[in-house]
Amino acid sequence: MQINMYEAKTKLSQLAERAWAGEKVIIAKNGKPYLELRPYIAPQGQRKPGRLAGKIQMSADFDETPGEVIEAFEEGA
């Protein structure tokens, strides 16, 4: 939806609800698109290496691939 700046001032709460619901809201100035109103999404925090240390277990034979699996890949199965 596109709405002019003056009307947007009077209906800001309604427009915010529509934007939050997923509708694209464009505010126009002199009949031309000027702003896009969209919900705020908080940035995610920085990743912390090692935060899952000790919580993930690898099988003892993780690096060993059975012969039939290798053959299946080589045959294009």
Model confidence pLDDT, tens digit, residues 56-65: 988 888 888 8
pTM across the whole model: 0.54
What does the alpha-carbon distance between residue 45 and residue 18 come to, in Å, rounded to a whole number?
Answer: 28
Per-residue confidence (pLDDT) for residue 3, from 0 to 100: 94
Task: Please report which confidence band the pLDDT of residue 1 belongs to, taking 50, 70 and 90 as the band edges.
Answer: very high
Per-residue confidence (pLDDT) for residue 19, from 0 to 100: 95
